[in-house]
Structure 1
Amino acid sequence: MTDSAAAQEPGRQIQELGELTQEQADAVLALIEDAARTDGTPAVSEQGRLQLHAGQRPGIRHFLLSERGRLAGYAQLEDTDPVEAPAGELVVSPATRGRGHGRALGSALLAASGKRIRVWAHGGKSAARHLAQVLGLSLFRELRQLRRPLADGPAVPEPVLPAGVTVRTFVPGQDDAAWLAVNAAAFAHHPEQGALVQRDLDDRKAQPWFDPKGFFLAERDGTVVGFHWTKVHAEEGLGEVYVVGVAPGEQGGGLGKALTAVGLRHLEAEGLPTAMLYVDADNTAALAVYERLGFTTHEVDLMYRTES
């Protein structure tokens, strides 16, 4: 545990930890949820939230900012990619904003990463854009959240699978290794999704939202060649195209579009009024597919980085 040099404000302290206690993790999660009610979106990603209760993990560091003994902010640094700069996320309690806590946390992340960092600004809020500018970070990635109505929207097309391909649902335990392999191949270019390992899959399978009935695998001759994993956000009435992946040798043949339609039809049958998904703004091929399926941009997440 160390005190950050960024915490010079009287009454402010930043602790850097390799893991959180259950009490600390619960307090951070409550802070994230409180901020999300104000901001409209969580400031820390699903992966970051899963890592709150995950114990010590190589490359993961937590920063707790307290103001006169009370938790007022949180940041997380993930340094697990052998090529990309460490990735950071941060959040400040709405009740304590405007006191320099965001800058203090950002400065702590910069110091801990050796001033080589990527930082997410979920929702692309003006305050986050201003903080990135103050910290000397430059915009380099745009992630769009798209949405479309289901029951009251355009009809989801009938899935047309490539010849020789069949679809079934995921069997936990039995299909783990096959899914991890095709996911790694499909997202070899993606610094977050392509790096998932068994522990990451286990984390997701342990969540209340996990339902193998909404996790579809495409097979050719008994080999998994693609998948569509859906997710239900029950409180928001949203069905998510959580992730669609296609093995490199099967790309370009319409399998991704067919799997997307399979998942959307499942979400519609579950009675969900709206579907959502995330896609990189520079993935023009995927954007074109989703727009033809009736999706439009709902909000944008921005990633900033130090110049390298």
Structure 2
Amino acid sequence: MISLAERLDRLTPEEVGSVFRLASAAGDADGALPLSEHTMLHLRHGGDEPSVHLVIRDGGELIGYAHVDVTDPVEGPSAELVVHPMHRRHGLGRVLVTAAVQAAEQADPVGRLRLWAHGDHPSASALALSLGFGRSRVLWQMRRSLFAVLPELVLPDGIGLRAFRPGEDDQAWIELNGRAFAAHPEQGRWDLRDLRLRMEEPWFDPEGFLLAERFSDKRLLGFHWTKVHGATRAQAPGHHHDPIGEVYVLGVDPDTHGLGLGRTLTIAGLRYLRTRQLDQVMLYVDESNEAARGLYSGLGFARWSTDVLFTRLLLT
């Protein structure tokens, strides 16, 4: 018997494992994982940040899940959800979104809610629009082959390239990241805990976390943090695919604009990923960021898939 959405403040380790298996099954069916890295990290590591977990079970099997993040007082609550591929077309997505709206109304004075749809599937768009949400942000996934020719790596005068040193570069990198992404709704707010959570992940590789440093004063001017997906079973339990590289985070100090450092760092990271014997590399970029899209297109990247953020339309 299928239950209604049950609200939980915390999940047991067994329930977290069930969510990961559910997300893996949906990702295999849809070609896009339904839960973001932020949500997966929160599930894996927990912490003191409050979240709302909405679960739907069929007997003892978890077949639907929604994560509602109520920690952002500026942008308001956000949610992601997943329904098992074998249990779709029965209104379970609508049940989860409705329950997420109720949770958001309890957490936010005006009932705001942002809803991510990874993969931009027509059924997800139809559901969101029917429940009073509008498209507010579009994120592209772009990919390129690592077999294709790469430009030569030429660094600007007075700038060197080296690997990130855990425990030594942490604070300096946080400050640089904040400057590079001052206007970004998520990335620019990272603190030391956000960095160190990712440093504990099985995919973390300091050799692939490249820093541009000025020789004269050792100031960090930019970075290219690469990532490899699927290199170990611990990274993607139950979700088996060939490893793929990622331009995980690329940023430069605003004072260096005009030096071409972003392009140089991108090339450096791609060359590093090639040494890992990878076939492909991916990245995410906002559709509205024409400068970044131009940079990546010029280096051979092409659009692969789309994620969409829907925002609840409120009466004024």
TM-score for the superposition, normalised by structure 1: 0.92
Q: Pick from 243, 246, 249: which aligns with 1:243?
A: 249
Pairwise mapping of residues 126-205 of structure 1 onto structure 2 (< 5 A)?
126-151=122-147, 153=148, 155-205=149-199
Partner of 2:278: 272
Structure 1 residue 83 displacement after superposition: 1.6
Look up the SS of the partner of 2:185 in the other structure. Answer: coil
AA in 2 matched with 1:286 = A
Partner of 2:75: 84
Identity of aligned residues (%): 45
Structure 1 residue 51 displacement after superposition: 0.9
For residues 99 and 35 of structure 2, what CA distance do their matches in structure 1 show? 17
For residues 78 and 302 of structure 2, what CA distance do their matches in structure 1 show? 28
Q: Does 1:17 align with 2:8?
A: yes
Over residues 128-152 of structure 1, what are the superposed CA-to-partner deviations in whole Å (9 max), with x where a residue is unaligned?
111111211000111001111112x
Over residues 142-174 of structure 1, what are the superposed CA-to-partner deviations in whole Å (9 max), with x where a residue is unaligned?
1001111112x2x21123323322111011111
For residues 108 and 190 of structure 1, what CA distance do their matches in structure 2 show? 29
Pairwise mapping of residues 225-240 of structure 1 onto structure 2 (< 5 A)?
225-233=221-229, 234=231, 235-240=241-246
Contact 2:22–2:84 under 8 Å retained in 1: yes
AA in 1 matched with 2:12 = T
Structure 1 residue 69 displacement after superposition: 4.0
For residues 94 and 103 of structure 2, what CA distance do their matches in structure 1 show? 14
AA in 1 matched with 2:272 = H
For structure 1, the residue ranges without an aligned partner over 5 or more in a row are 1-9
Moved more, 16-25 or 210-219: 16-25
Moved more, 281-290 or 69-78: 69-78
Partner of 1:27: 18
Look up the SS of the partner of 1:77 in the other structure. Answer: strand
Structure 1 residue 22 displacement after superposition: 0.8
For residues 30 and 112 of structure 1, what CA distance do their matches in structure 2 show? 24
What is the Cα-based RMSD across aligned positions, in Å?
A: 1.5
For structure 2, the residue ranges without an aligned partner over 5 or more in a row are 106-110, 232-240
Contact 2:68–2:80 under 8 Å retained in 1: yes
Over residues 16-66 of structure 1, what are the superposed CA-to-partner deviations in whole Å (9 max), with x where a residue is unaligned?
223221111111111101111111111001111111122243242222222
Partner of 1:53: 44
Q: Does 1:284 align with 2:290?
A: yes
For residues 277 and 46 of structure 2, what CA distance do their matches in structure 1 show? 37
Over residues 82-105 of structure 1, what are the superposed CA-to-partner deviations in whole Å (9 max), with x where a residue is unaligned?
321222100011121111111111
Runs of 4+ in 1 over 6 A off after TM superposition: none
AA in 1 matched with 2:134 = S
**Cα distance change, pair 11–237 in 1 and its aligned pair in 2 (3 A):** closer
Structure 1 residue 216 displacement after superposition: 0.3
Q: Pick from 117, 124, 143: which aligns with 2:120?
A: 124
AA in 1 matched with 2:127 = L
TM-score for the superposition, normalised by structure 2: 0.90
In the comparison of the two structures, how many residue pairs are matched? 297
Look up the SS of the partner of 2:4 in the other structure. Answer: strand
For residues 43 and 256 of structure 2, what CA distance do their matches in structure 1 show? 36
For residues 33 and 294 of structure 1, what CA distance do their matches in structure 2 show? 29
Q: Does 1:72 align with 2:45?
A: no
